[in-house]
Chain A
């Protein structure tokens, strides 16, 4: 290789030091890695690495604490918003975020999610919605679409017996405690840049002390959906976004 091309002006990508060098355990093609990277980049760009505490969930991203080079706590299933509440109340100058999947945030942790948002805790919640329990092997999630096949809805989700997919983000937007609620995705470079902006705003909002910032990221689960990564992103766009449309749901008044 010609060493002479390694110059600062030729730099096109640099891994942020807010990500560790640990090898991600996520399946190739999954959106988790991308969302991890943009959160870490936001933390780096804001210069808040030493004043940030993250809370990891139970689910595919249970080991998220191995990847963010900030102080991290591992919560019991669904309880990340409770941990984050206490961390932020006891360390109000810190930046506190939770990183949770749909089973963690919208099933077992629904109570903690709603009440943290309703109290208007000054935290940033990142919610990865892929409509499935990935880690445990592809079971039905609260956000699984009608007719969608999972290992516990092998003939497709039947709304009459299995209930309806939960649009928790729309519910949270109704609460007076939420300050900023948005739904993003990361399956194209343009969407990644947009999502990063939303996450940046979510972290910046903590300085304003005006309530909870909630960023849903509709993501794929190529393994759980039993598709190739490319096919899963296409399926996401064609199916998930009908029930979970992208865009801001609640915007701070000064941004309108």
Chain B
């Protein structure tokens, strides 16, 4: 896809996210809660019926070495997208480090199978267009749950759409290679589901209100990742609480 198309898409997306700004604090901006809860119920059943089963199967068939290799290749293939985003964010040093990381892992790491760059001090450092929008001052927007995708915000959803077109590697891949890249990414996600099975099950399938848990965790973790002040931090005195009797 051409840069022109990317930029016009990006402007549309930024405008979309911009319209829906308004009041994320003090808690969560969730005007679509009823709809989101329906999607959440669907996603939870997809997780139970498909993703978590696939995870168990994947772990049973593939050795840890194979899974690490899959993860590393998936990460290496996503690095060009991270570099583009870091340039757009004005984080040139990190973009430079990631360019080096890509070069090292693609060559010395046998096409990305081994993460040799991490051993050289070039640690995993990922970003996305959602973060780029944040750096550009676009507000978080409303909280959303998207079928098959899970929790996101209007800003992050817009970012994910742009990211599909942002990897400079993709236009250079043959259709078969592109399918392989997607397959690796899916396998990587499925593997993560299995690796964190107990924690994910406890939130998704054991909590009294998994929707609220996921929303709280997604938004707080995302804001932390982006260096956005969590609203609770504004709480002047978290200790002002009557604990008599407890």
Q: Do A and B bind each other?
A: no
Question: What residues make up the interface of B, taking CB atoms closer than 8 Å to A?
Answer: none
Question: Which A residues have a C-beta under 8 Å from some C-beta of B?
Answer: none
